[in-house]
Structure 1
Amino acid sequence: MYYIGIDLGTSAVKLLLMEESGKICNIVSKEYPLFFPHPGWSEQNPQDWFAQSMEGMKELTKDIDRKEVAGIGFGGQMHGLVTLDENDQVIRPAILWNDGRTQEETEYLNNEIGKNKLSEYTANIAFAGFTAPKILWMKKNEPDKFARIAKIMLPKDYLAYCLSGSFCTDVSDASGMLLLDVKNRCWSKEMMEICGVKEEQLPKLYESWQVVGTLKKSIADELGFSENVKVVAGAGDNAAAAVGTGTVGDGQCNISLGTSGTIFISSKDFGVDENNALHSFCHADGSYHLMGCMLSAASCNKWWAEEILQTKDFAAEQAPINKLGENRVFFLPYLMGERSPHNNPDARGVFFGMSMDSTRADMTQAVLEGVAFGLRDSLEVARSLGIKIERTKICGGGAKSPLWKKIIANVMNLKVDVLEVEEGPSMGGAMLAAVGCDAYPDVETIGKKMAHVVDTVEPEPELVAKYEERYQKFRKLYPAMKDLF
């Protein structure tokens, strides 16, 4: 049998076809537009996601017996607000995770409702990208549209709804809404009251591997699939990527260098850091995880190379870099504001420390190091909780760079395990579908079976010491500039 994983990303939907053994048969990617109607706003049209996902599934399965497809699972961009009216029409474009319009609402939640209460209700505090502040923004700025809301859902859940008719979400993705009581894996009555929404407007909650329904007849007919294809709830992109990299069970770590950058630490036990610098979310394996999320990671390098240097040859730009730990140029990677651990949508990117002999390569190196230092900020929070991490998996587009992996290993003093197959959320979505179809007993089993480590980048003591010194300087830059942003 075959399993499809759909990773609904910010720039494209990536679809993966997997056999029960874990063998990847095909991968297809379909792009769709991103809209910036005002500075700091970021929106997409949910119908574009569905149209491209349908086209992608047709292309993905063109060379197989389509009746052999057994299940579909998802990984998806988190926090986005999708609203439907009573006729299932999309009310307004989806407001995405990297949209910064909700500063007032975020401040209201954190300062007037209070961080302690939010943490008590949801295990998290408000961040500008989360869903609850977006709901409050819509209530205040678009009251007519707000009054029409019949269904509130997250991006990947819109796909599940279109495919199966099931109004559902999973607990890992719902954790990023600031509406979920994470510890008890249920909707928070207090947060619904604060946001002015009713439980019937929110989707039914599932664990990530649970079956939410089967394909609608019209969809099955269009795709040439059986109507018995199971649709599973799926997971938020980071939890799905963690499943795909085998970051399941207790005390496992994964670093993702995608558009955003994350450090993801799985845990059997529920836990919250006292400053809420890390997100405390449900995991797709049925347990919990802590996550630090920086809003710009590989996108910093993309911006630097493509917009500033006017090149797409990333490898050529990195080729001259050979003196690690000695760069005097620093880069603060806050091009879209920052989430973990600073929670400051006004923060911006900064180059610091240039002199007349600073080179193009120094600047490129500073960008790579700045992202690594930013991730280290979140790792330090985890370490302050007594969590001992010695190694990490790595995934995302930035992980294709051997140099960047070496920088990460030495800045963070972690062994970095490189996987044979690294397909992130799309692989995780397919694996969750396989569990939902009973091909595997649970998520931990399939995660450990399919994550094959083929290389490990070891930290070098001399380089670790050099980077420790650089990191201590980096740490002082944000506090020094905070009032200027």
Structure 2
Amino acid sequence: MYLGLDLGTSGLKGILIDDDQRVLAEATAPLSVSRPHEGWSEQAPAAWLQAAEAVLGELSKHGLSKLRGIGLSGQMHGATLLDASGDVLRPCILWNDTRAHAEAADLDADPRFRQISGNIVFPGFTAPKLVWVARHEPEVFSKLAKVLLPKDYLRFWLTGEQVAEMSDAAGTSWFDTGARDWSDELLDASGMTRAQMPRLVEGSEVSGELRPDLAERFGIPRGVVVAGGGGDNAASGIGVGVVKAGQAFVSLGTSGVLFAANDGYQPDPATAVHTFCHALPGTWHQMGVILAATDALNWYARLLEAEPADLTSGMGGLQAPGKARFLPYLGGERTPHNDAAIRGAFIGLEHATDRAAATRAVLEGVSFAIRDCRDALAATGTRIESLLAVGGGSRSRYWCEAIATALGTPVSLPVSGDFGGAFGAARLGMMAATGAGAEIATQPEISAVIDPVAALSDAFDEGHARYRAAAAAIKGLT
């Protein structure tokens, strides 16, 4: 039996799997976000521990006496600051906190950060947050002994070990992503030291053992190992079996992610593609990220006072893009624009534009944004040979047909089930406990394969060209 714990922004989820990777039980506990000032986003690490206790307590009702390994997944980039005694100095500054935008720009202006980390220094990354703390909370910074990422603070509670793993560490802007190690040069450039960083392991390696008191409390055998785990998207990649070059998944959740596995390190920060280590040794991954996927459809549905599912049901077969175009930049955009100020728009509206036409434009706009991500990945040399679709938006066949046709790539839909971060974390726990490797990270059974509509290929190419022209025009206005 193996346990995966996924520490998200809105909740902590636990999944138990058996030796055949069948889900035995799951439990969740909610979390809330504090926003004390505009652009701030924080959580109290103590709330993560309370959530973990609730999840373990619920799962212990199913019996944990056969548990052998635990894996961790979680939200990336958060800054959890500890003093020399291991006590938390202030609330964790989360991934979606933008207070450090000026500090991020300062660090990104130093060419070493892109050269060594392989990524733009985004405001949500960890390093600029610590520069902000040094500037604005010097008393806190003076007591700083260790910085942990959110899931790694959960590990500290579980094991007493201060450890990070490669996929999460790669999102800090302190990491030499190609060498899979902390960069002393980048640490020094942001006023930090290697001593303030946790020890590193690979995601499938043992990072420590569960504390005896916790084992006794929840009916767990002594000596259960805790794997390094992975950042949320890397763990999801393990969960859906995207672990080899050519494999990819598109996630249509609140935001959108096009995630591709790589056997080598091939960064290109100018594309605004994230290039991180994967959760398995000797592998990397790249992501194109858009900030509004189903969030764009939900926004549009609120305008019409309708349910999103009602808007997308009964749409029939895929149609050629019309004159109406939608740009889904409701809160800025990452890939490929790296522009927090850019905003969305409807363009090309006319008297003939009805609810159905506008709905198609929203789905097409997100599909074209995913194509932008694919083109950015291609510019780095990353290839996509197989593509899985996950997330709530993948339940819309029309949307999947639009993405398949926009990308010119078949989209495979897994059978119903949870193959996300918690499942991937459980797989990593299995690897750490048994010595298994990537061979257990198989892809799920496929329920359907949606092929591109060949007859509409040219029309979608033309639609994407019009979308790009509209994006350029809007970008010039922001």
CA distance in 2, matches of 1:310, 1:56: 36
Distance 1:462-1:66 versus aligned 2 partners, 3 A rule: same
Contact 1:261–1:297 (CA under 8 A) maintained in structure 2? yes
Structure 2 residue aligned with 1:47: 46
Cα displacement (A) at 1:152: 0.6
Q: Match for residue 121 of structure 1?
A: 116
Counterpart CA distance in 1 for 2:209 and 2:149 is: 19
Q: Is the 8 A contact 2:108 2:114 kept in 1?
A: no
Would the alpha carbon gap of residues 100 and 346 (structure 1) be closer, same or farther in structure 2, given more than 3 Å must change?
Answer: farther
1:29-428 correspondence to structure 2 within 5 Å: 29-63=28-62, 65-111=63-109, 113-114=110-111, 117-273=112-268, 275-286=270-281, 287-305=283-301, 307-311=302-306, 313-322=307-316, 324-420=319-415, 421-428=417-424
Counterparts of 1:454 and 1:233 in 2: how far apart (Å)? 32
Give percent identity, aligned residues only: 36
- The whole-number CA distance in structure 2 between the counterparts of 1:173 and 1:140 is 25
Task: Please state if 1:466 is matched with 2:466.
Answer: no
SS in 1 for 2:246: coil
TM-score where L is the length of structure 2: 0.94
Q: Partners of 2:336 and 2:410 in 1: how far apart? A: 23
SS in 1 for 2:13: strand
**SS of residue matched to 1:427:** helix
Q: Deviations over 1:323-359 (max 9, x none)?
A: 5333333222223322221111222232323233433
Q: What does the per-residue CA deviation read over 1:256-286, in whole Å, with 9 as the maximum and x for residues that have no partner? A: 1223221111111111226242122111122
- For residue 41 of structure 1, report the CA deviation from its aligned partner: 2.4
CA distance 1:389–1:137, shift in 2 (3 Å): same
Tell me how large the CA RMSD over aligned residues is. Answer: 1.9
Equivalent-residue separation in structure 1 for 2:2 and 2:297 (angstroms): 33
String of CA shifts for 1:386-430, please: whole Å, max 9, x gaps. Answer: 443233012223223323222211121111111224421111000
1:24 offset after TM fit, Å?
0.8
Asked whether the equivalents of residues 18 and 24 of structure 1 are also in contact (C-alpha less than 8 Å), the reply is yes
Residues in 2 aligned to 1:17 and 1:351: alpha-carbon distance in whole angstroms: 45
Tell me, in whole angstroms, the C-alpha distance in 2 between the residues paired with 1:365 and 1:83.
46
Relative to structure 1, the CA distance from residue 68 to residue 350 in structure 2 (aligned partners, 3 Å threshold; closer, same or farther) is same
Amino acid at match of 2:286: L
The one-letter amino acid paired with 2:13 is K
CA contact (8 A) 1:100 1:345 kept: no
Corresponding position of 1:482? 475
Partner secondary structure for residue 127 of structure 1: coil
Letter in 1 for 2:158: L
1:482 aligned partner, one-letter code: K
Q: Does the Cα contact within 8 Å between 1:259 and 1:295 map onto a contact in 2?
A: yes
Deviation at 1:320, TM superposition (A): 4.6
> 422, 447, 456: which one pairs with 2:449?
456
Give a deviation string over 1:266-312, Cα, whole Å, max 9, x none.
Answer: 1111112262421221111221122212223223333333x43445x
1:82·1:155 contact (CA, 8 Å) conserved in 2? yes
Give me the whole-angstrom Cα distance separating, in 1, the residues matched to 2:59 and 2:44.
23
CA contact (8 A) 1:103 1:345 kept: no
Tell me which stretches of 4 or more aligned residues in structure 1 moved more than 4 Å: none
Alignment partner of 1:227: what SS? coil
Mapped contact 2:236–2:423 kept (Cα < 8 A): yes
**Inter-partner Cα distance in structure 2 for 1:335 and 1:190:** 36
- Checking the alignment, whether the CA contact within 8 Å between 1:98 and 1:336 is kept in structure 2 is no
Shift of 1:104: 0.9
Distance 2:35 2:355 in 1: 30
SS at match of 1:351: strand
CA distance in 1, matches of 2:300, 2:11: 21
Q: C-alpha displacement at 1:96, in angstroms?
A: 1.7
CA gap of 1:105–1:84, structure 2 versus 1, over 3 A, is same
Which of 414, 432, 437 is matched with 1:436 structurally? 432
Instruction: Give SS of 1:291's match.
Output: strand
Q: Distance in 2 between matches of 1:8 and 1:369?
A: 32
Q: Which residue number corresponds to residue 12 of structure 1?
A: 11
Unaligned ranges ≥5, structure 1: none
Q: Distance in 2 between matches of 1:367 and 1:176?
A: 30
CA contact (8 A) 1:248 1:266 kept: yes
